[in-house]
Chains A and B, each alone.
Chain A
Amino acid sequence: MRLRRSLRFTAGAIPLVSLLCLYAQNPPDYAREIQPILEKNCYSCHGEKLQSAGLRLDQKQSALAKLVPGKAAESEIYRRVAGMGNLARMPMGGALPAAQVALIKAWIDGGANWSDTVISSAPKKKHWAFIPPVRPALPVVGNAAGNSKWVRNPIDRFVLAKLDAESLTPSPEADRAKLLRRVSLDLIGLPPTPEETDAFLKDKSPQAYEKQVDRLLASPHYGEKWARHWLDGARYADSDGYEKDKPRFVWFYRDWVINAFNRNLPYSEFIVDQLAGDLLPNATQDQRVATGYLRNSMINEEGGVDPEQFRMEAMYDRMDAIGKGMLGVTIQCAQCHNHKYDPLQQEEYYKLFAFLNNSNEATAAVYTPEQQMKIAGLLRRVREIESSLQHRTPDWETRMATWEASVANNQPEWQVVRPEVDDISTGGQRYILQDDGSLLAQGYAPTKHTVKLTAKTSLANITAFRLELLTDPNLPLGGPGRSIKGTGALSEFRVEAAPAAKPDAKPEPVKISRATADINLPETPLEAMFFDKSNKTRVTGPIEYAIDGKDETAWGFDAGPGLRNQPRKAVFTAEKPLANAGETVLTFYLKQNGGGWNSDDNQNNNLGRIRLSVTNAPDAVADPLPAGVREILGIPKAQRSPAQVQTLFGYWRTTVAQWNDENDTIAALWKQHPEGSSQLVLNERGKVRETHQLIRGDFLNPGKLVTGGVPSFLNPLPAGAPVNRLTFAKWIVARDAPTTARAFVNRLWQAYFGIGIVETSEDFGTQSSPPSHPELLDWLAVEFMDRNWDVKAMQRLIVTSATYRQSSNVTPELLARDPYNRLLARGPRFRVDAEIVRDIALSASGLLNEKIGGPSVYPPAPAFLFQPPTSYGPKVWNNSTDNEQYRRAIYTFRFRSVPYPMLQTFDSPTGDSSCVRRARSNTPLQALTTLNEPLFIESARALARKTLSDGGSTDAQRLNYAMRRVLARAPSAEESAELLQLLVKEQQRFADGKHDPKLFAGVDSAQTAAWTAVSRVLLNLDETITKE
């Protein structure tokens, strides 16, 4: 019904006949265009399993018996699908769309060509995209019009061959200025400056254009432009999604992508680093940062979540992103069942899944290159001082051994207790019991809560309780706390005891007389991020603060950058041994009140992973030796590595009083350690996590156990390769991977021409749209791999082709013939991406701050967006007031739940899920944005000021100048007249006091205000935000 309506609707505009003309000389290809229609609509009744009326359409002989080649109107197949004659129209489920009926007609009329090599069905032909590409021969071109001279590189041969077949001719080359603007927008996402345009126009050398291409490819802005395309598929955003949508730290990954494009990292390495950089030998910080790709999944930390459920959601998201963005195969369907259309089995989905399922959701401390140098310098100094101590103390080894002997067995025996968690007491945080009896805090992190833990013990006469704070790769920076630095604070520690035999007896509070810890820091006010609006003085300090009965004081264990993420411990000694016998129920209360006021932001200061133990030894105190040092002591001396010996020495020297000066010097050096930033990364778990095929994709419903493996329709794993994530990553970029190179070159093509050679760039499976230029796609894919996955080489190849250099002007005839420019008889013309819309205004007006990389920035946005009830919770968005607000839009902070309005309006994806093909809308909200949004207005003002100061002395010169900044061309006479008329009229109205020039232009000048009006018009033109 809907289809018929639209047919009626268009009947006047585009006669169906003209579409059919398209096929007159070039009938549809059976394998690519006809067979899929028959397979989808007919095979279920007329195929391998069922042959209604004795007909099998998947076999040539049977099918051809029902048609007359060259005469569709006499062919039963066509008559039945077209609804001609008296017999029932096929298929039974509903008529085929008119376009498909037309295809079948054109195929039969064209001779019903059915090559024997593509005889379908048993065995079923493999879908083209799942066969590795081979380099096709370059088509011989050169029709009567002598078009072969047009060819500049192999791309053009494929395009021209198709145009020849369609009896179309290429468009002439675009006007030079326009071409420079096009290639600048495409390669660096910024329009050319008037100086760049002039230089190009003056350059008469035959290589003038290629020189510009090389200049642009070498620009650091190239990485910014192309990183943004990749970040869409990598679902990049600066917050963690879902309800609270807290800010998180992933901009190091964003910068890594920018740099990867700029240094032209081969695509194969680009992929391996992102999927398994952490597993490469001697992985660098950069390679670890690259795994942020996988960690860009959202995390739900609303109160009361099951963290495992959302870990699984994140896993599905990773699979989806790899499928869409790297493989070009939609694999998501097989999460719940076998893929309906593509040959992917559910089990195979989980085999792929198993490669990814053995990781920790980690964050790493990361440092800029300058900071890394500084750290290396500090560590070198520390080593130098320690070496000199050793040098000066020839018997240090003996002395250290004596010390070692004195501490080796000085620890009492501790019994770990396995507590039960009182769910109500956690404030929604989950305490997950680990194998070692510790509890790992996950999920929502309340900023203030007192967890109640109950444990049974049969140890009699308990004298002391030990609280260990353990590190864990899943905690921020490894913990042991949950604050964004991996630290925490313990406000109060309390314990009660009761005999297990008398469950109704009131538990007796245990009086704690003394507390010791392996770290005791001086009193320090809580950091600003923990401000709780109480205006009380809240501090951290030594362990005594955890038993002083005051909520405002807490035991703190933040030893500063470089040192803070280590295990810690405290021991609480009972005033007198418990008079308990038999089984005792201990109830621990760990008050954690060190967080801030906003529990929807990163303000928790909780403990991250805790373990409780008891002892009945007298005089138990906290072991002053760090856990790592204690561990080394457990290793026989002969087996210790030099590094371990050095670590041991590093601790021992702090106990040697005569070295106080050196120890102080070293402590002072550590204080200079840079804070750095943090970045979400993956790292591999030691103990392999089992992967099950999940029944209907439900993680509570595990089916059979699976191990890492790959789908049988794709390239096999190399024999003997270890089953791990690195092998998986290399498999994706193997030379025989059928879709990887195709998917990437197709996305390049999509960025240049608006639509990929395969329109469904996320899906090359059997349901994908057929490629417009299949041989070209394969040629590009093979060329890409043969050039060692050299991305810049492919960019250069595309932008220097004659195909790319064509004018985008279009005649009504060509538009009717090829509305979406799939045949490429003209150059591309379409609105630029959201970020570039903003960048063009900033660049043309001269406001652009060209700084590359760094933390995300906060250009102006209305405050209410970040407050309830618009945002779920209050979010921090301090409008940048300095020139950080004029950074390129790729650096705008991206909250997933509150997208930056200007970017959202122009179709920038939110990062909720992987997106490799943006929508491109054209809406009134976009018009309101470019007309009225503050930064666009500021751009208009700045352009006006610049025009008046640098644009010459006459209005005509100035207009020329402004127009060239925006459009890289001079105005036509007609355009000039229009704009000068506006200028004159508005200048008069501003001068007449009709409206206030200062309000509009920021200065009290009618002339500046009038030029601001003209600039605003220029920045709002269709051409301004269009690549043409």
Chain B
Amino acid sequence: MNSPGTHISRRWFFEQCGVGLGAVALKSLLAESAQAAAPMVAPMDLLAPKPPQFPAKAKNVIFLFMAGAPSHLELFDNKPELKKFDGTLPPPELLKGYRSAFINPNSKLLGPKFEFKKYGQSGAELTNLLPHLSTVVDDIAIVKSMVTDAFNHAPGQLLMNTGTMQFGRPSMGAWVTYGLGSESKNLPAFVVFSSGKKGPSGGNSCWGSGFLPTVYQGVQFRSSGDPVLYLSNPEGVDAELQRDSLDSISRLNQMHLGVTGDPEISTRINSFEMAFRMQSSAPELMDITKESKETLELYGAEPGKPSFANNCLLARRLVERGVRFVQLYHEAWDQHAALVKDIKINCQDTDKACAALVKDLKQRGLLENTLVVWGGEFGRTPMVQGGDDGRDHHPNAFTMWMAGGGIKRGVTIGESDDLGFNVVKDKVHVHDLHATMLHLLGFDHTKLTYKFQGRPFRLTDVHGEVAKQLLA
């Protein structure tokens, strides 16, 4: 049993120590700017909600990362000419300086494998692989003119996540939580799920904090069992023992605070309290049995069976609980061979849940404040790999879609050439995507900076332009 005094002291610590002794603020005052490096500061302060640089619609992000790189030519980018030239060699001038991963670039063209149709009032073109997405096309913006610099998975995923192919830089989720802090007191600010055949090629660095304080790194959640490592009490520890232990730890730390006067001890006390709250809030979050039957069906989610669909539903639940940045990796799209069969399966695994997420966020009024982004690290070659059922990695043109959070509804922007090889209109480089996402979240991407190694770094490095056509 807890004594009343315990409750009071716990609440006191949470309320009083959350803002600490102003260590962060003091640092800011002393430092050159409020964004300066601060190695030793309290996490509560670092994660406190912060207003953006200018008023913005998007407050949260759900990034559906289709790792492995989906084929734009089988899903979004209708190329009748490519069909016409199926089996012929590409024009030599296209291949000048072109590097590919596996194939000899001078390989025969491969016509699209699926039929396109126009959907919705906006008339967006999709293949019949995406029957569910076709029902929300008027709520999303399709970008057919994405461009990246990488044609291998790990560098491509790093570039998409951190703005560079090199390791060691913060991920966009880290940048966003650094800029905006967290609205959740009981859950991490940046949560990552993974489903599919493999883990992401870029590993932990895809959601790393780079040189930013480590509190901004993504926390990987598991779709079954303990969502966070070491969340459950050890065997044989009941709720009361856990509470008694935490109270003892807290009181002993408090005594020691009295001796040493180091405010870091207050932060530690706070961290333990938040850990305790997380022990109940995280399982509550993961318990999708409380969702209505309609909702579960909408997503195709099944309690107890880890899936991309469950993760989409959890993403909504996370955003509802104030989690700033949610990233779902689904590694399955690397169709060098068995393109037709595998891409069908992938779409079956993901299409319904992606569309459901847009619908569900919309019906709950969350879409307005939540930016949803769908896409992989690059596209696929118009040229064939192997016999006639595979495509290689292709950085010059690919498709992504976005929704909510200030994104224009029901538009398609950008165009690739007749073969889907190069972008010919409204090019959106990965850096431009980042600039646009930050803009939607209320940041001038050139001003969200962090000083490291003597210079201000930013997500977009020295690049990036906001894709204005995408803004509502």
Contacts and interface: CB of A to CB of B under 8 A. Distances in A.
Contacts of B271: 922-924, 926-927
Interface string B258-279: 0111111101110110110011
Most A-side CB within 10 Å, residue of B198, B203, B265: B203
Interface string A808-821: 11111001000110
Given A298-B167, A810-B261, A810-B262, A243 B40 contact: no
Contacts of A330: 453-455
A952 interface: no
B255 interface: yes
Nearest to B219: A925
Given A302-B152, A303-B101, A1016-B245, A808 B198 contact: no
B236 interface: yes
A975 B262 contact: no
A303 B102 contact: yes
Contact of A932 (B230, B256, B331): B230
Contacts of B392: 304
A928 B331 contact: no
Contact of B42 (A10, A809, A820, A922): A922
A1017 B234 contact: no
B28 interface: yes
Interface string B187-226: 0100000111111111111001100011100011010010
Interface in A801-847: 808-812, 815, 819-820, 829-831
Interface stretch (B31-39, B340-348, B401-409): B31-39
Contact of B29 (A99, A333, A868, A869): A99
Nearest to A931: B275
B16 interface: no
Contact of A1020 (B21, B31, B249): B249
A763 interface: yes
A98 B230 CA distance: 44
B8 interface: no
Contact of A1 (B53, B202, B278): B53
A114 interface: no
Contact of A1017 (B102, B219, B249, B268): B249
A1023 interface: yes
A225 to B, nearest CB: 20
Contact of B275 (A97, A241, A927): A927
A985 B244 contact: yes
B153 A243 contact: yes
A20 B275 CA distance: 39
Given A1000-B234, A1009-B236, A1017-B252, A305 B152 contact: yes
A830 B41 CA distance: 11
Most B-side CB within 10 Å, residue of A14, A923, A1023: A923
B93 interface: no
B80 interface: no
A989 B275 contact: no
A898 interface: yes
Contacts of B202: 242-243, 897
B94 interface: no
A871 B199 contact: yes
Contacts of A819: 23, 26-27
Interface string A988-1019: 01000011111111000000010001001100
B263 to A, nearest CB: 7
Contacts of A7: 29
Contact of B168 (A19, A97, A913, A929): A913
Contacts of B43: 921-924
B469 interface: no
B29 A932 contact: no
A604 B27 CA distance: 53
Contacts, number: 323
A754 B40 CA distance: 9
Interface string B346-375: 000000000000000000000000000000
- What bracket does the count of chain A residues touching chain B fall in? 35 or more
B50 interface: yes
A233 B198 CA distance: 31
Contacts of A243: 153-154, 201-203
Nearest to A243: B201
A922 B244 contact: no
Contacts of B25: 6, 9-10, 13-14
Given A923-B215, A998-B236, A928 B30 contact: no
Contact of B102 (A424, A760, A768): A424
B363 to A, nearest CB: 29
A924 B222 CA distance: 17
Nearest to B387: A424
A1022 B245 contact: no
Interface string A943-987: 000000000000000000000000000001011001100100110
B233 interface: yes
Interface string A905-932: 0010010110001011111111111011
B201 A869 contact: no
Given A766-B454, A932-B233, A978-B251, A241 B31 contact: no
B249 A760 contact: no
Given A810-B262, A868-B198, A933-B230, A6 B104 contact: no
Given A241-B167, A243-B153, A922-B264, A19 B29 contact: yes
A716 interface: no
B233 A316 contact: no
Contacts of B411: none
A1021 B237 contact: no
B329 interface: yes
B304 interface: no
A1021 B252 contact: yes
Given A933-B230, A1022-B268, A300 B261 contact: no
A13 B26 contact: yes
Nearest to A1017: B248
A309 B125 CA distance: 37
A401 interface: no
A399 B268 CA distance: 83
A489 to B, nearest CB: 24
Given A937-B234, A1021-B252, A901 B454 contact: no
Contact of B103 (A340, A424, A811, A932): A424
Contact of A423 (B50, B103, B168, B253): B103
B241 interface: yes
A864 interface: yes
B166 A815 contact: no
B34 A869 contact: no
Given A815-B263, A1000-B237, A300 B152 contact: yes
Nearest to A985: B244
Given A870-B194, A870-B199, A979-B248, A928 B230 contact: yes
B264 A830 contact: yes
B385 interface: yes
Given A97-B32, A819-B27, A1000-B235, 18 more contacts: A99-B29, A300-B154, A300-B155, A302-B154, A340-B455, A765-B454, A766-B454, A870-B194, A870-B199, A912-B167, A913-B166, A913-B167, A924-B278, A925-B188, A989-B241, A1017-B252, A1020-B249, A1022-B253
28 contacts: A5-B34, A10-B26, A97-B34, A242-B155, A304-B101, A330-B453, A424-B104, A760-B453, A760-B454, A763-B453, A768-B454, A819-B23, A868-B198, A868-B331, A872-B198, A896-B203, A896-B204, A897-B204, A898-B203, A917-B39, A923-B271, A931-B233, A978-B255, A995-B241, A998-B236, A1013-B245, A1021-B252, A1022-B269
Interface of B: 21-35, 37, 39-40, 42-43, 50-51, 53, 97, 99-104, 151-155, 165-168, 188, 194-205, 208-209, 213-215, 219-220, 222, 225, 228-238, 240-241, 244-245, 248-249, 251-253, 255-256, 259-265, 267-269, 271-272, 274-275, 278-279, 329, 331, 385-386, 392-393, 451, 453-455
Ranked nearest first, the 3 interchain pairs of A and B with the lowest CB-CB distance are A897-B203, A304-B101, A1000-B236
